[in-house]
Chain A
């Protein structure tokens, strides 16, 4: 297969970026999208055309959340429930022009080319996305009973890989799906319930502070989430928020 690639190139965070056009040829349809970019980079180096395109990637099996490209108008490209590294070239048509852009959000500034800074997510987690337990001195694991359906729901939310596709997809660059997944995961479990009110407030405040947009319930996040995290988590976040605020003392 042959493709024309339009790739966003940007030297560094401050530089002005632009789209560059590259061609790749004889790509196997079994090739993954990132492997196609590897091939492009090899040829850019070998033919001394340009510095290879920088893009984040790590596990290449869809779990680390490191990769993330905005491909032809969709985060992680034209397939559902996959990360960019799990996207294969057979999903494209031969001769297609592929536009590749970095995640775009104020809270995710571009570092270089297609690499963005997602530490905003870590800051949200640091604001309270955990159970404040230190090592040791905890009760026996089976002393906390958790109903299977609750545990399953918590697990559904906990599957979030923090890739940022929800922010990238959202027309408002809102991080609500990410925040709601973490809030839900912990609020559904008795261990997390204890600090739930405090947690949801701190995480939402941090999210606002970092410059993410607001959720307008468009659900592009849900449509593009590689782990199929549900919008019901956002509703749960809203509920948690209301309960926390209603019960809050001055």
Chain B
């Protein structure tokens, strides 16, 4: 049974978006003023969407979990943003960016969406420059580019190591402009806790004011979900502390399909875990792998000595070091894609060669590069990263090799959307990391920023307008309907349920436990047996959570413990779905690595015959088996290949 209509426009790939825009319905300015839109999230996708919709004349309410839109986690993206400008004259084009993204995603992304993404990528750069984003310049005054993993051209625009910050500040500026004009109303420190459907359409949300604990209702003609990913389900990830999957999950519970939840990206170069008190993992830019060499000791006795501290990494002789990436992938060496590098590190650590007191780290060594290029050159290239590393670890990476380990970074999966970014609930749209659409099973570096802004600036303003064209007759949506009453009541009940458990263990205790289960069984390497076991453990833990969690304080005041508990309760359900999705997908692709399905060399082995589809899951109720809907992926313009980085 296939109930999924992805609404891909007719025509050749390169014409689809043009055709769509030519035929979409419009709303005249007088009517736009009468139409309300709710945007949840103020990251790149949310802020840019709200700013664009506000500028068009719609009434927008935007919701922000933090004290300011500028805190959204898009701000932490370091490397850059891709665009097919071909300013470097190195043969880049929309087609090539499209191809690289599809291939990088291991052929699990929707072709038409990705093509559109590549098409509008250039407009994003123009838009951002006009907003005053201080991209890096050449001496000529023209824009500079750098190269990034998974591409053979230099197409990445950047603003030092803070590209995400600068792009977000640009979008935040545009948003602030609209707030000043009165077209957008900002609700800071508000968290969406439920979606309200009226006659099957998304008509508003229930949100909790995090300052006062007040439960509030907001009604609108359409709702845009731009709440990012759910990587924090692993407890330790590169995500921000407040990033969470609850907004997505409550929409899912109301009928929005959840697509490919098991597609999670693991970033190979993070600072390793150093203790059980740790709250998050810090990402080190991937660019470090350009000059750093990754190794672990060859001998177990050296590993032991290192862990005890009787041996320093610099004492280990060259012939006793295992440069495993260079050994396994002579062609790409240390520059293999993220998922490959991550898995290789895990493989060595699992085999008992990991370093650090935890045994969960590998060395990233710059001594060869320093000898070859001199310390000055290395300092100029990576000075700020080395400094950051030293601040965190108190180890000088110029003298002692860095230690790195993979960490959860990005979730390619998300709410299922059609070509218009509309979910399976009419009137509910999803943008940015919250949707599933563009990255397939693996996201390329510098593409997340591109997608967030593409959705917000250049896709939603068209597709949402197309939807709202039908809404001009609906009149003002009232928040005083029985549907809102019911939704508010259910939110209150859920909060009460959590508050009244009064158990003995903290929310973080459960979250850390869940994180470990997820990391061990639904992490980098998965297998059927492990996934079954993981699923059982999650269920067990969930039961314990609902019996024994302690949420202190009151619901009617600022209460971070309650916020965390609500999010964790949703994570348990999402975790089960992730395990289920990973279990059902009997192939390896991109970030999803099933140990049963690998090549002789330990690479991903796709099964294009049986699994070339998007797995969109439909919620059936708590602890009920979700129903799978398949959206087949059809590639008209691309030849499907096995990825090979040897």
Identify the stretch in B121-129, B600-608, B626-634 within 8 Å (CB) of chain A at 4 or more residues: B121-129
**A56→B506 contact, CB < 8 A:** no
A249 proximal to B (CB < 8 A) = no
Please, how many angstroms separate the alpha-carbon atoms of A112 and B504 in the complex?
A: 25
Q: Note all chain A residues with C-beta closer than 8 A to B52.
A: 134-135
**A144→B129 contact, CB < 8 A:** yes
Q: Note all chain A residues with C-beta closer than 8 A to B71.
A: 58-59, 64-66
**A145→B142 contact, CB < 8 A:** yes
Q: Note all chain A residues with C-beta closer than 8 A to B392.
A: 32, 86, 88
Q: Note all chain A residues with C-beta closer than 8 A to B569.
A: none
Within the complex, the shortest CB–CB distance from A47 to chain B, in Å, comes to 11
**A138→B132 contact, CB < 8 A:** no
Q: Say whether, besides A119-B67, A122-B69, A142 and B132 are in contact (CB < 8 Å).
A: no
Return the contact of A129 from the options B51, B176, B283, B508 (Cβ within 8 A): B176
Q: Say whether, besides A30-B393, A130-B177, A64 and B75 are in contact (CB < 8 Å).
A: yes
A106 proximal to B (CB < 8 A) = no
Q: Say whether, besides A42-B506, A61-B282, A52 and B561 are in contact (CB < 8 Å).
A: yes
Q: Note all chain B residues with C-beta closer than 8 A to A98.
A: none
Q: Say whether, besides A11-B557, A155-B160, A135 and B135 are in contact (CB < 8 Å).
A: no
Residue of chain B at shortest CB distance from A28: B275
Return the contact of B560 from the options A52, A128, A154 (Cβ within 8 A): A52
Residue of chain A at shortest CB distance from B160: A155
Number of interface residues of A (CB under 8 A): 77
B579 proximal to A (CB < 8 A) = no
Within the complex, the shortest CB–CB distance from B182 to chain A, in Å, comes to 10
Which label, helix, strand, loop or mixed, suits the secondary structure of the A interface?
loop
**A66→B275 contact, CB < 8 A:** no
B59 proximal to A (CB < 8 A) = no
**A45→B67 contact, CB < 8 A:** no
Interface centre among A35, A66, A128 (most CB of B within 10 A): A66
Q: Note all chain B residues with C-beta closer than 8 A to A56.
A: 66-67
**A131→B127 contact, CB < 8 A:** no
Q: Note all chain A residues with C-beta closer than 8 A to B130.
A: 131, 133, 138-139, 144, 191
Residue of chain B at shortest CB distance from A55: B560
Identify the stretch in B95-103, B105-113, B162-170 within 8 Å (CB) of chain A at 4 or more residues: B162-170
B30 proximal to A (CB < 8 A) = no
Q: Say whether, besides A52-B560, A115-B558, A64 and B134 are in contact (CB < 8 Å).
A: no
Please, how many angstroms separate the alpha-carbon atoms of A29 and B395 in the complex?
A: 13
Q: Note all chain B residues with C-beta closer than 8 A to A36.
A: 277
Please, how many angstroms separate the alpha-carbon atoms of A134 and B176 in the complex?
A: 12
Return the contact of A191 from the options B131, B159, B458 (Cβ within 8 A): B131
Please, how many angstroms separate the alpha-carbon atoms of A79 and B550 in the complex?
A: 36
**B553→A131 contact, CB < 8 A:** no
Please, how many angstroms separate the alpha-carbon atoms of A39 and B394 in the complex?
A: 21
Given contact pairs A42-B509, A146-B137, A158-B159, enumerate 19 new A-B contacts (beta carbons under 8 Å).
A29-B394, A30-B274, A30-B393, A36-B277, A45-B552, A58-B66, A64-B75, A65-B70, A90-B394, A130-B132, A136-B123, A144-B129, A144-B130, A148-B137, A148-B141, A151-B135, A155-B134, A158-B166, A162-B70
Would you list 22 pairs from A and B whose C-beta atoms are within 8 A, ordered by A residue? A11-B557, A27-B277, A30-B394, A45-B552, A51-B552, A52-B552, A59-B76, A59-B240, A63-B76, A64-B66, A64-B72, A64-B73, A64-B240, A88-B391, A112-B558, A117-B211, A125-B173, A125-B176, A134-B174, A162-B68, A189-B132, A192-B132
Which residues does A use to contact B, with CB under 8 Å?
11-12, 27-32, 34-36, 38-39, 42, 45-46, 51-52, 54, 56-61, 63-66, 79, 82, 86, 88, 90, 111-112, 115, 117-119, 121-122, 125-136, 138-142, 144-148, 151-152, 154-155, 158-159, 161-162, 185-186, 189, 191-192
* Smallest CB-CB A-B distances: 4 pairs: A130-B173, A145-B141, A138-B130, A134-B55
